[in-house]
Structure 1
Amino acid sequence: MVKNKVTAKDLSKFLNSWDREISNLNIEVKKINLKQKKERAILKKKEGFTFRLHN
């Protein structure tokens, strides 16, 4: 088993990069959710026009 000393500097670098990656992933998830909401709204709009009964 290899034992390395972990310094506070290394740990803070790791945590900072981790936070950056998490924030980037959160931004991507928000973009995907907005895109899906827009697509759902478009589909509902199309369905409303397509399946409307004519009297």
Structure 2
Amino acid sequence: MIKVEDWAEIRRLHRAEAMPIKAIARRMGISKNTVKSALAADTPPKYRRPGKGSIADA
């Protein structure tokens, strides 16, 4: 999972600097698919952990 700062940097490089996806992936050391999903997402990534419940739950 990428950090919010990385997500913002990917979007800035692609939109403001017109850098191709492959060059962004190479520069940041991440997958092209990760870059594509970061560009497709409207909101920054958020870590979500599923609830475990408690011992008292049925």
Is the pair's TM-score, using the shorter chain for normalization, greater than 0.5?
Answer: no
| Larger RCO of the pair (alpha carbons < 8 Å, separation 6+) | 2
> What TM-score do the two structures reach when normalised by structure 2?
0.28
Q: Which has the larger radius of gyration?
A: 1
Q: Compare the two structures and name the one with the higher helix fraction.
A: 1
> What TM-score do the two structures reach when normalised by structure 1?
0.29
